[in-house]
Chain A
Amino acid sequence: MEEFFQHTLNGLSFGSIYALVALGYTMVYGILGMINFAHSEIYMMGAFMCYYFALFMGFSAPSPINFTLGLLAASLAAGMIGYLVEKFAYKPLRNSPKMNSLITAIGVSILFQFGGQIIFGANPKSFPTLIEDKNLFEIAGSQIHLIDLLIYGVSALALVGLHFVIYRTQTGRAMRAVSTRSDMTPLMGIDNNKIISMTFIVGSVLAGIAAVLVSIKYPKIDPMMGSKIGMSAFVAAVFGGIGSLHGAIIGGLLLGVGEYYLIGYGASTYRDALSFSVLIFILLFKPTGLFGSKMKEKI
């Protein structure tokens, strides 16, 4: 029972990371209808930008200020990279078939992975300790670590922030409008290109935050780190119903917890297969995901 509780806690902490990354996939899918394969590389770049920022600033002792600064730097850098990728790789293809932007996305993703190996080096780097891990207290025999609490807290804050942006601001309203009828929004005075850029920036910022949170828990970063978490997060987005924000969050949490049960109860080598089996079952039995709505075909 204690073990079960511990696995649940670990799973939730990883699941909230999945949720943060999955939101980026689901937002871009909702607005452009394309799978942004490069999203996992933006996540990877966030971790590396934080690493170099810490190196540049000469952070030596772990402290909350360093952590906050690192988080800010990573999310800013990730947002910027997301913006640039959208501007240079996806925007020229806005009016061409969807297949083309999908192929470009794969190209961008691979370019980042292997370009990263040339620029940053292929060997894993050890992420600086931005904040010291402490064993805070015990509940029912399971230990609650400071880092886990931070992961819950920061992701919850990020999600609340996202909710505010999407449902309480003009930009968010415009985003929702574009994702419903992108052909009508220009008539309402909405600049579609600007809103699409904003969506990429918001999604990328979330990925940057997730990258720093993961890196302080598992302090080893390499240019290929994005691909695995990206796949799982994408599955989480489909699981929750791609295009639906709340679906992505719930899907991420469920998938994280599920994976930790699988690892905890002795089938860890099948971990990578779990998310995809979930995916295939979802597509077989409820293809729109948990919260997705079936779009009516317009003629």
Chain B
Amino acid sequence: MNKLTKASLFLLGFIVLGLILNYFLNSYIHAILISFMINAVMALSLNFITGLADQFSLGHAGLMAVGAYTSAIISKELLSDQWYFIPLTVVAAGFASAVLGFLVSLPSFKLKGDYLAIVTLGMAEIVRVLILNWNHVGGPRGYNAIVKFPGFLWSYSFGLLVLTITFVTFFRLKKSWFGRNLWALNEDDIAAEVMGLDLVKAKRSAFIISSFFAGVGGGVYAHHLGYISPGSFSFLISVQILIMAVLGGLGSMSGSILAAFILTILPELLRSLPTGTVDIRMIVYPVILICMMIVRPQGLLGRLELIEYFRMKKWIKS
């Protein structure tokens, strides 16, 4: 089988899956499925900067917020709420976040160390406060009645398309010369610099690419729910994205998708636990995170992709 037949088989499979899901499952499952795709896009985006380039970002919720609001505002104010423009606005959202990512990268990479974490943390907070004070988009009340896709099949296919593009982009980037540069500075930044790698430029490009996809994720999010508020992009969302990237394995793209799947399903299964008003996710997540760091710090897959992981298992056995 060559690559083309493989790809078209996959495509066919996903379309059949979508049709099955559309007719046999209720809208609750549909909503979970779409939010899994959004989570996976966000986790992939964070994994690229944190896993590959070893730069810690704690503000992906802020980038997501910028993407979500950009996409929502453009489709409402400029494109008069037509759903077929959604792909366009989502790309615009990505570019808006990429611009913000560039601005954030200016102060962050002046020094070595965890400065990106601090600056992105601040950036997310500033974005949140600015949106809170911006009355035109509803301020704390949130932004309402954002245009949605007309049916599940549409949003499923679009989500899948975005997820596939994100995954393929990051997967290819990981294997490219650029990805290898990032691996090098991750392993030993001094040695990488001596080999002629411009550290600041590499980190900055990585962060801008990551920001772009975070914005895209935010755009999909806005058009999935139809309602966004500053509260939907709090620090805890950044942490949630981080946990997905860490659980799957920093540096493993398919691991991020796997972890996003697990961590989207798990809280839904735990909904029946008696915790009162407290969000159960926020107990489960940190426990997973701490145990993970002590017992298996490399995450589920480590740096390997899923296929490589199974190949490795086979190789060890033989």
Binding site for B on A (CB under 8 A): 33-35, 89, 92-93, 96-104, 106-111, 113-115, 117-118, 122, 227, 231, 234-235, 238, 269-270, 272-273, 275-277, 279-280, 283-284, 287-288, 297, 299
A87–chain B nearest beta-carbon distance, Å: 12
CB distance from A186 to the nearest CB of B (A): 24
Given contacts A106-B239, A114-B283, 18 further A-B contacts (CB under 8 A): A93-B293, A93-B297, A97-B297, A99-B54, A99-B56, A104-B290, A107-B286, A107-B287, A109-B286, A110-B239, A110-B285, A118-B283, A231-B121, A234-B118, A283-B111, A283-B118, A287-B111, A297-B190
Q: Which residue of A lies closest to B58 (CB)?
A: A106
Cβ–Cβ contact A110 & B118, under 8 A: no
Q: List 27 A-B contacts (CB under 8 A).
A: A89-B290, A89-B294, A93-B293, A99-B56, A100-B297, A101-B293, A102-B56, A104-B290, A104-B293, A106-B286, A107-B287, A110-B236, A111-B286, A113-B282, A115-B283, A122-B276, A231-B121, A269-B133, A270-B133, A273-B125, A273-B126, A276-B125, A277-B122, A279-B122, A280-B122, A283-B110, A284-B110
| CB closest residue in chain A, given B250 | A99
A283, B107: Cβ atoms under 8 Å? yes
**Residue of A whose beta carbon sits closest to that of B235:** A227
Count of B interface residues, CB-CB < 8 Å: 48
By a CB distance below 8 angstroms, the chain A residues around B286 are 106-111, 114
Chain B 27-56 per-residue mask, 1 if CB under 8 angstroms from chain A, else 0: 000000000000000000000001000101
Per the bound structure, the CA–CA distance linking A93 and B289 in Å amounts to: 13
Contact call B290/A276, Cβ cutoff below 8 A: no
Q: Are B126 and A276 in contact (CB under 8 A)?
A: yes
Please tell me if the beta carbons of B114 and A102 are within 8 angstroms of each other in the complex: yes
Find chain A residues with CB under 8 A from B112 CB: 297
Contact A102 B117 (CB under 8 A): yes
Q: Chain B interface (Cβ within 8 Å of chain A)?
A: 50, 54, 56, 58, 106-108, 110-115, 117-119, 121-123, 125-126, 128-130, 132-133, 190, 235-236, 239, 242, 246, 250, 275-279, 282-283, 285-287, 289-290, 293-294, 297
A101: B residues at CB distance < 8 A: 293
Interface majority SS (helix, strand, loop, mixed), chain A: helix
Minimum distance in angstroms from B187 CB to a CB of chain A: 11
